[in-house]
Amino acid sequence: MRDVLRDAELRRAELVTAAARSQRRACDAAVPAAGAAVDALNDDMRRVWHNQQRLKTEMCTLQRESGQLCAQAQSWVHMYEAFHGALKALGDVENWADVLRRDMALVSGTIERAQREQAAASGQSDVYTPLSLPPRTPRSDGGGSSAGTPTVRAGARGDRGGAPAAPLGSPCAAPRSAASPARGQNVRPVGGASAPGVHRAKSEGWT
């Protein structure tokens, strides 16, 4: 009985020793494996962190450049609006200049005809010098006169007779002599109806 008990104790001691030896070997083998896994995980985390920092830097750069692009676009919009307004103002000035030129031509023609008729009615033969306007460059759309001289259209203010007025500075703008026909009669140029540069004009009454 003692021998059996002693053998059992020896066997248990051997098993405990073998288990302790196996545990030490397992621990010795697990430590390098755990270190390698931790190192690999640390490398992955390091790469992720670096990528995150790069993405953050790129995001800040993109945000700053986007703000600069928005500011530049706003400045372009303001420049375009200012340019558009300047073009509109230039068109308004051009239209105003055309209207003023036509009005001045109408006033000049009216004054010229009034003084001619007044001179004819009073029997005077003094020469009237018509008002000269600066020549206008012909427009491509046919809006101005072909020779650059403003004319007075028929049917305008002060021209109630309906006959077209002659251009300023033309031969028919010469004053009438004292022997001119009375008011209401047709005026024929000297030298016949075929005289160059002379038009038939009909005197009209002024109110």
pLDDT one-digit tens code per residue, 165-205: 444 444 444 444 444 444 444 444 444 444 344 333 444 44
DSSP 3-state assignment of 38?
A: helix
CA distance 114 to 205: 9
Report pLDDT for 13.
86
Q: Which range, of 44-53, 87-96, 103-112, 153-162, averages the lowest pLDDT?
A: 153-162
Is the pLDDT confidence value at 28 over 70? yes
Per residue in 95-130, pLDDT (tens digit) is: 999 999 999 999 999 999 999 998 888 875 454 455
Q: What is the DSSP letter of 114?
A: H
The residue that leads in pLDDT, 98 or 144, is 98
Burial of 95 (0-12, 13-18, 19+ CB in 10 A): exposed
Residue type, 37: A
Question: What is the pTM assigned to this prediction?
Answer: 0.35
DSSP 3-state assignment of 88?
A: helix
- Do 92 and 100 contact (CB within 8 A), yes or no? no
Report pLDDT for 124.
56
Cα 108 off chain centre by = 38
